[in-house]
Structure 1
């Protein structure tokens, strides 16, 4: 077997300064998503004097592949995009070889596929510290005993788990029987350098012109993967009723996913196609938020969705389903409006209330911005994660 390279394991460097620890982030893919943005934040704002990161995508490249490469870190991809299921044995063998040839001090997995494959291999190769980042309180582990069993096995092999909401921690404790002491809640965060609004009508006008949106319209946006989790059919049903009440309202959806064709058909069936735009993947999200008046999140379940934090930072008032981390981040009536999940009538009422009450929109805008800046900065999140890294890297088993 080829000798494994690298790995400091806490030894001081030759000049007496603290050694750099080698961190390997393993993630399912590098397309759009909150987990991918979290990896980028950990790399971008990580301490260069203490950590040497690398990133592995199990399959495909995607938008964040280029972002990470631009940050100067090694990025590996183990299989082509779209071949994840068929290529699982191949992915496993390539990850096996990567860990066989390199000595890492800490493995940090993101998303369930990376956790299920990465944690056992990292344990096999005795990687000293094994973290996973649990991003969503998904329903797959509720109805699929196989998924939950595999995730539970991986989590038992992990040294520590980061949950992005209390609801996720509770799920892991109750459903997977993971000790609460093994889990830290660290909320997702927003890159405040990127997500900072330009206080000018010109910036708003320019953003609307780019997307072909009317200058005087009220724009309600939805952001996320076009997938069951985000419940965009409800978004469209709400849009249909709001559009009847307010003819000046227009609606945009940013994101790609398997439900796009069905959602476009539903928009036509509801008679709102002329007032609805599907924007696809949007690389410059700050510019899009600049064009919005309201963000609406209709999800069935979540972790702590980045789109809510980004909208808050950009001063866009939020109407959102009261699910998981959303209910932990937003305070109803103070910095957002919360609606019981699935309640079309109450979503319509919440959006209509904001359209009618400009003063309330401005209040939620200011309060949301202030909260995002005070409590959800990317730099603060990274410092919390790195403090956990060092706790386990420098204290070993005694850290627990």
Structure 2
């Protein structure tokens, strides 16, 4: 049995938290003993329940202000000493910054940290500190090979620390039929209405204003709607932009939801407009649902999608290109169906959930029992 502790910023209903729930469930089936330490008390019941159902204990440290004041950080060290894990893995910004020194001070045998995207929004003090502590990690997991060079050049990762483990996804299309009608009924959509949109945090990185501007270029007489699932600091700005573009009656902002699978099933086209990414789980889930995907050609999306074969990759920020591709898929539903079929096949063949679980199992076992590497 391998004993692992995961340190994460919070248990909110975001992509990394869903990834963690999948990972914990998979490792539980392989006999792991696991705990999660969350730095912020904010959490979502469904994420917690998924962890509890896999036999995973949860320790809450407190608010970030306490951590930065020192008291909370010491509680993190004490918690690690009490749990006595063989391996610790940190994920997300503050967990990386605070978890690395805590794990080493607590005497943990193996430390794994992760870089899941180009962390361009970090303040300068945090970037400096993270460069100083990255060498304390035994391994650094990247979820996309396209961000390895960023990690080495900007965060001080050494080549021998690099491990690339793409995110994994399960087949979601088996439940599409029943979910599609159920969730479209919740929106009051007639069968002929075409629904396109995205599942994403409403922040500047995701660049969802581009989607609204592209939609404005579509024929107004067509029965289409835009669905955005997620929340964030850009919500008010997107609502105002939608109103300014005359899209208020076509724009649906659902906020954060835990039933993402159902809303994906309700869509006809998935659009991903991010300026940068690691390995975007939302795109993977859309492909696993069999949706045609139109996405920015950035970082991990270039690993997921073969342009023109299993989706469309477009220059980031190109409103006209996005409008043209969405227009084409609406006009040719048979082509959209073929694109979705190929996307479904590719993502399950190359990025199945079992592959991800096996890769993490190999990583942890190689660190705590080196002779098994």
Q: Secondary structure at the match of 2:88?
A: strand
1:335 aligns with 2:310: yes
Greater shift after overlay, 171-180 or 265-274?
Answer: 171-180
Measured after TM superposition, the shift of residue 348 of structure 1 is: 0.5
1:128 aligns with 2:112: no
Gaps in structure 1 of 5+ consecutive residues: 1-19
Alpha-carbon contact 1:319-1:351 (below 8 Å) kept: yes
Greater shift after overlay, 233-242 or 344-353?
Answer: 233-242
Measured after TM superposition, the shift of residue 72 of structure 1 is: 2.6
Provide the aligned C-alpha RMSD in A: 1.9
Out of 151, 164, 168, the residue aligned to residue 172 of structure 1 is 151
Gaps in structure 2 of 5+ consecutive residues: none
Greater shift after overlay, 44-53 or 303-312?
Answer: 44-53
Could you say which residue in structure 2 is the equivalent of 1:65? 48
In structure 2, do the counterparts of structure 1 residues 354 and 85 end up closer, same or farther at CA, with 3 Å as the change threshold? farther
In structure 2, do the counterparts of structure 1 residues 220 and 243 end up closer, same or farther at CA, with 3 Å as the change threshold? farther
1:150 aligns with 2:129: yes
CA–CA distance in 1 between the matches of 2:270 and 2:219? 15
1:7-40 per-position Cα deviation (integer Å, ceiling 9, x unaligned): xxxxxxxxxxxxx221000000111222212211
Out of 252, 256, 262, the residue aligned to residue 281 of structure 1 is 256
In structure 2, do the counterparts of structure 1 residues 48 and 365 end up closer, same or farther at CA, with 3 Å as the change threshold? closer
Could you say which residue in structure 1 is the equivalent of 2:351? 376
Alpha-carbon contact 2:170-2:348 (below 8 Å) kept: no
The correspondence of residues 45-64 of structure 1 with structure 2, limited to 5 A, is 45-48=26-29, 50-63=31-44, 64=47
Q: Which runs of 4+ in 1 moved over 6 A?
A: none
The correspondence of residues 162-311 of structure 1 with structure 2, limited to 5 A, is 162-192=141-171, 195-198=172-175, 200=177, 203-242=179-218, 244=220, 247-311=222-286
Q: Secondary structure at the match of 1:338?
A: strand
1:214-233 per-position Cα deviation (integer Å, ceiling 9, x unaligned): 32111011111111111111
TM-score (norm: length of structure 2): 0.94
Alpha-carbon contact 1:197-1:315 (below 8 Å) kept: no
In structure 2, do the counterparts of structure 1 residues 149 and 243 end up closer, same or farther at CA, with 3 Å as the change threshold? farther
Q: Secondary structure at the match of 2:175?
A: coil
Alpha-carbon contact 1:243-1:249 (below 8 Å) kept: no
Aligned length: 370
CA–CA distance in 2 between the matches of 1:265 and 1:199? 33
CA–CA distance in 2 between the matches of 1:199 and 1:45? 23
TM-score (norm: length of structure 1): 0.88
